[in-house]
Structure 1
Amino acid sequence: MSRIAGVLRRTFGLVREHVGTDQMGNKYYSVPEQKTWTGRVIHAKRMVEAANPTEYEYIEGSIPIEWDAWIRGRRKEPPSIEELLKNESYRVQIKLKAKEVEEKDLALQAKEYREGLVATPAKTLAKGHASSTSFGKQELSEEPSTAGNTFEPGSWMPNPKK
């Protein structure tokens, strides 16, 4: 059988073996090491045929982590359906636990604020904009300031030295 497969590979080009499909519809293939009809050796490859082939529609998470590890050669065997389902349920549990911990932390923080154990965050009241020359000043000074397009060269003279 391998002799026939070798003849077919050399005649028709690369032969890829379907390894699996994920829940999003992506198909994964393995191309074993083979020789072309010219005798050139083609190394083994792993590839994915995306369910959504247009590049601009790709979003992070379009390929599950387990399949990504197989494609990049970080694992030898492709993931099984049981493994994918187990890992997905584990990820959901971790997200729920993280949400619970965050809610408990916010409740504890609110309790500490009410009891006076922790100082409440300072609330500042700023008048004007920080880039303004009069920011934080009670009175407007007579010192020169630029006012964009109303600046007139030579209209201000410095105070004489004392």
Structure 2
Amino acid sequence: MSRIAGFLRRTFGIVREHVGTDHLGNKYYVIPQQKTWTGQAWAQGLKAWTAGLSTAARVVVEVGRVVRAKRMVVAANPTEYEYIEGSIPTEWDAWIRGRRKEPPSIEELLKNELYREQIKLKAKEVEEKDLALQAKEYEEGLVATPARIAAKGHAAATSFGKQEISEDPASTANTFQPGSWMPTSKK
């Protein structure tokens, strides 16, 4: 069944070649530049000027549709709202965008993943050493601890902190007396 579908796709449609799959289940394809049989006939007018007289010749040319080379990914999780950043490895992303000519190999992907993990471990170790050094310097009195100040508002605000609730009523509904009003005369 897939042979028949492949034959029909090659004959009447676009051929895509499977290039690889990553560890997340995404499938990567390349569509080479090709000319399909699904072209369209179109008329092109040509004007020939001879002996001061104009004659128009119409030529009908059959042209097949040329499909540019493309690189594409079929995501393992195709819904947009479930996309998670980093669900396409950077090596494959570089290949899709054309920044590299050859698709990445499995060995290259594994090597780069191991390298990233080592960098994360080294960064964590450096951060722990830095915190230990700061604590030691604080104990010796060489440096002061950083002040931990929480901002309670913006400098342009009229009041900071919690607003106090007054016991006085805010409404004057019981004591309101309407004033008199006289409409102006039309002139």
- Give the TM-score band, short-chain normalised: 0.7 to 0.9
- Summarize the Cα distance change of 1:47–1:112 in structure 2 as closer, same or farther, 3 Å threshold: same
Kindly name which structure, 1 or 2, has the bigger radius of gyration based on alpha carbons. Answer: 2
Task: Note the alpha carbon deviations across 1:33-79, whole angstroms, 9 max, x for none.
Answer: 01121112111000000010111111001100000000000000000
> CA separation of 1:116/1:78 partners in 2, compared to 1, >3 Å: closer, same or farther?
same
The residue that corresponds to 2:126 in the other structure is: 101
Preserved CA contact (<8 Å) 1:10 1:35: no
For residues 145-156 of structure 1, what are the structure 2 equivalents within 5 Å? 150=170
* Equivalent position of 1:22 in the other structure: 22
TM-aligned CA deviation for residue 150 of structure 1: 3.1
Structure 1 residue 11: Cα displacement: 2.6
Which has the larger share of helix? Answer: 1
Which structure has the highest strand share of the two?
A: 2
* Gaps in structure 1 of 5+ consecutive residues: 1-6, 136-145, 153-162
Alignment of structure 1 residues 74-153 onto 2, 5 Å:
74-122=99-147, 133=159, 150=170
The question of 1:70 aligning with 2:95 is answered: yes
1:12 is displaced (CA, Å) by 2.4
Structure of greater relative contact order (alpha carbons < 8 Å, 6+ residues apart) = 2
Can you list the C-alpha shifts for 1:114-146, whole angstroms capped at 9, x where unaligned? 1110022346699xx6567587xxxxxxxxxx9
Instruction: Give aligned-pair identity as a percent.
Output: 77
